[in-house]
Amino acid sequence: MSVSTLQRLPKIIEVVWHPPILHLIKCNTDDSATTASSSCGGIFRDKDSKFLLCFTKNTGNENAYQAELSGVIRAIEIAAHHKWNSLWLEVDSALVVNAFKNQSLVPWRLRNRWNNCMHIISNMNFLVSHVYREENCCVDALVNLGLTLDNLTIWLEIPACIRGYYGQNRLGLPCFRFVNF
C-alpha cells in the first residue's frame, strides 16, 4: 500500500524593480562570494530608470557579508564623488541594512571606510532599504563578472552582461520569487 503526502506548493511573488522618486538617485548593490574569491558591485539609475553608471570590484577572499559591505561603501563613495547628494541605496542583505543602525556589525577591517561613509551620508538626503534578491538581477550579473576581474571597473555605458536585465527593469517586467511555507 502506498501513501502519498500532500506537499505545499511554493507561493510565487512578483518582484519588480521600481525607479526612485523625484530627485533621488537609486543604487542597487550586491555581492558574490565563492570559496576562492568575492566581488561587489552596484548600478546607479535615476527617476526615469536611466542608467548613470555601474561598477564591480573583485574583493579578494572576503566573505559574502564583507563583500556586500564593500559594495555599499564603494557606492556611497562614488555617489559623493559625482555629487549625487540624494541617494537611495537598495541591498538584498538585511544585515547590511542593520549595519546602518548598529556600527558594531561592521568588521574592524572596514570600520574606517564605513565611518567615512557615515559622515558622507550625514550630509546627504539618504535612504537605505532591503529588497528581495530577485530585484537585484542587474547587479547580480555584474558581480558575477566581478569575480573574473582584477581591478575596480566602472562603466558609463550599460555593459553587455546586464543589458537584458536592465531592459526588463526599465520596462517594469517582473522577476519571480518562489517561497515555501
Residue 1, pLDDT score: 62
Residue-wise pLDDT tens digits, 72-87: 999 999 999 999 999 9
Residue 122, pLDDT score: 97
User: In the chain, which residues have pLDDT < 70?
Assistant: 1-6, 181
Where are the chain's structural domains? 26-179
The alpha helices in the chain, defined as continuous H runs, are 64-81, 94-99, 108-122, 137-146, 163-170
Residue-wise pLDDT tens digits, 23-36: 999 999 999 999 99
Residue-wise pLDDT tens digits, 89-109: 999 999 999 999 999 999 999
* CATH fold for the domain made of 26-179: Nucleotidyltransferase; domain 5 (3.30.420)
- β-pairing, 86-91 vs 25-33, is parallel
Mapping DSSP onto H, E and C, the string for 114-128 reads HHHHHHHHHCCEEEE
CA distance 155 to 142: 11
Location of C-alpha cell 567615512: 116
HSE (CB half, 13 Å, CA atoms) of 78?
Answer: 28
